[in-house]
Amino acid sequence: MPNRSADTLFQLIQSLERSEKRNFKLYITRNSGSSDLKVVQLFDALEGMKQYDEEQLLKKNPALQKQQLSNLKAHLYREILASLRILKQDENIDLQIHEQLDFARLLYNKGLYMQSLKVLERVKELTKNNNQVTYLQQILFLEKKIETLHITRSLQNRAEQLSGEVEEVNERVQLIGELSNISLQLYSWYIKNGHARNEEDRAAVDNFLQNEAVTEAQTDKGFYERLYLYQCFCWHSFITQNFLVYYRYCQKWVDLFTADEKMIGIETASYIKGLHNLLGAHFDLRNYQKFNDTIRVLEDFMQSPVIQQNRNNQIQTFIYLYTSRINSHFMTGTFTEGLELVPFIEEKLKKYELFLDRHRVLVFYYKIASLYFGSGQSEKSIDYLNKIINLKVDLRTDLQCYARLLHLIAHYEIGNFELLEYLLKSVYRFMYKLNNLSIVEEKIFGFLQSAFRLSPKQLKPKFESLLSELRPLEKSTTGNRAFMYLDIISWLESKIANLPVQEIIRKKYLEAIDESGIEK
């Protein structure tokens, strides 16, 4: 797990591109009139550090006094942000709007309120054309202020017109706020719990959609209203494992951007997330051709300036592309081939360690562990599962549980039966405590408790019996959660056929594409 530095200034400096560092030096020199300022010295010192160490910083830079350091760091932080604001202004519509609003306020403060109104009229059009409804409130507030305090010789119905605009914008902002709240709460529920475990979970998740805002937004045509509405249905259907509905709303999410392409540059992170979710939907439904088509869309998009010139977008596209590339190997049964991705992924995890949240790293660890398990390398799988198990976090309790369950099966595979007997009790207690035991998990535990005591001749009927009991549960609305995390069916089939698990999955894939006529 990445060891994050808690120093915000260090994180900011480490995030800067070469052009941004050069721009900062020019900015600070121009504005200070001197090239040897202490803030520049501090900047250079922090830029050269691999990890933040205040003691070493002061030791190597005696001109920096400890008593001054806190103020110097705060000043440097502000100056870096100011230089970035100037450099990145043309790339962000919100920065452009803020700049024009600042100009309007400056003109008003100079008593040039007619000029201020003209600026506000222009920025209002810019805001409307780019769906930035929340900024309209600020624009209208300043317009009302000027119209209230000064004689502008506006049209006679100006008051009514402004009032109507304000009322419409307030209603839209309220609706957008409510929908975005629901979307955020659903996503937060998933990050904490994973997929719904039982009917109680489903009822709790259903309750999020019992909101007037969801009903009201069904006929709304606003960009953000539809975006957050689609997100609400995406998270809900994903949590409840209704993957067909999940696919439909993921597609609507992406189509919203393709219908209004300028919004891809404005809400790039949301577009990337939409592509990621659409890939996930194709993976869950085994839409092989559409999955490959969507991966190509993401790969092409990664070469665009909006990705190449933005660190956050680069990181997000890396996460989602390589998550999908691993999923592709899961679908096609090419686990050993998929292991070739691991060194590059680990290199990027190290490179981006200051910027990655633990949830994303946990998912990568679990997927890499699954690649090793599927390729028959259970020892390496255990190494990555231990990284999850040994991490004390309160998110993705689902991954914590199924990492332990896969950990048990991996130890069974390599014959660590003495350890397995101890682990069985520990993992069972862990999953029980987190209310994560469905009939599927209970049957797996029951099998493992007796399996390592059986002879090879006795084992095969046990495998066959467990397989016949679990198959019907794959389509269950309440018992199929485990199959999202563990392909226990393919594992059992591999034990019965005495074949590697990836060969079983590969065979299923080839049969599926033969039936569908998809080119291999």
pLDDT at 228 (0 to 100): 97
Q: What is the pLDDT of residues 180-221, one digit of tens each?
A: 999 999 999 998 888 888 889 999 999 999 999 999 998 888
Element housing 416 (H / E): none
Section 371-397 average pLDDT: 88
Q: Residues near 403 by Cβ (< 8 Å), separated by ≥ 6?
A: 365, 366, 369, 385, 388, 389
Angle at 488 between CA 499 and CA 242, to 5 degrees: 135
Q: Would you place residue 7 in the very low, low, confident or very high pLDDT band (cuts 50, 70, 90)?
A: confident
Residue 362 burial class via C-beta count within 10 angstroms: exposed 0-12, middle 13-18, buried 19 and up: buried
Task: Tell me how far apart the alpha carbons of residues 181 and 231 are, in angstroms, rounded to a whole number.
Answer: 11
pLDDT tens across 254-270, in order? 999 999 999 999 999 99
- Per-residue pLDDT at 391: 80
The pLDDT value recorded for residue 233 is 97
Please determine, for residue 342, whether its predicted confidence score (pLDDT) is greater than 60.
yes
pLDDT at 88: 83
Identify whether the C-beta of residue 121 lies closer than 8 Å to the C-beta of residue 158: no
Give the angle 286-287-290 at the CA atoms, nearest 5°.
145
CB distance 254 to 274 below 8 Å: yes
Does residue 252 carry a pLDDT above 50? yes
pLDDT tens-digit profile of 31-75? Answer: 765 545 788 889 999 998 888 988 889 888 888 888 889 989 999
- What mean pLDDT is reported for the chain? 89
Query: Would you place residue 153 in the very low, low, confident or very high pLDDT band (cuts 50, 70, 90)?
Result: low
The confidence score (pLDDT) of residue 152 equals 60
Output the pLDDT for position 485: 85
Q: What is the pLDDT of residues 234-248, one digit of tens each?
A: 999 999 999 999 999
Are 354 and 2 contacting, i.e. CB atoms less than 8 angstroms apart? yes
pLDDT at 35 (0 to 100): 46
Per-residue DSSP letter, 70: H
Checking if the pLDDT of 134 tops 70, the result is yes
Domains of the chain, by residue range, sit at: 8-90, 92-153, 341-520
% of the chain exceeding 70 in pLDDT: 94
Q: What is the pLDDT of residues 77-103, one digit of tens each?
A: 999 999 998 888 877 898 999 999 999
Q: Yes or no: say if 169 and 140 are a contact pair by the CB < 8 Å rule.
A: yes
Using CA atoms of 163, 166, 168, 170 in order, give the dihedral in degrees to the nearest 10. Answer: -140
In whole angstroms, give the CA distance from residue 314 to residue 141.
Answer: 37
Residue 355 has pLDDT above 80, yes or no: yes
> Positive or negative CA dihedral for 39, 45, 48, 49?
negative
Query: pTM of the entire structure?
Result: 0.87
Predicted local distance difference test score (pLDDT) of residue 1: 45
Mean pLDDT of 173-177: 94
SS3 242: coil
Query: What's residue 91's pLDDT?
Result: 79
So what's the pLDDT on residue 2? 44
Q: How far apart are CA 395 and CA 18, in angstroms?
A: 35
CATH class of 341-520: mainly alpha
Q: Report the pLDDT value the prediction gives residue 451, as an integer from 0 to 100.
A: 84
Question: pLDDT tens, 482-496?
Answer: 888 889 999 999 999
H or E element in which residue 473 lies = none
User: What does DSSP assign to residue 472?
Assistant: G
Residue 156 is predicted with a pLDDT of 61
The answer to whether 482 touches 196, Cβ cutoff 8 Å, is no
Higher per-residue confidence, 394 vs 332: 332
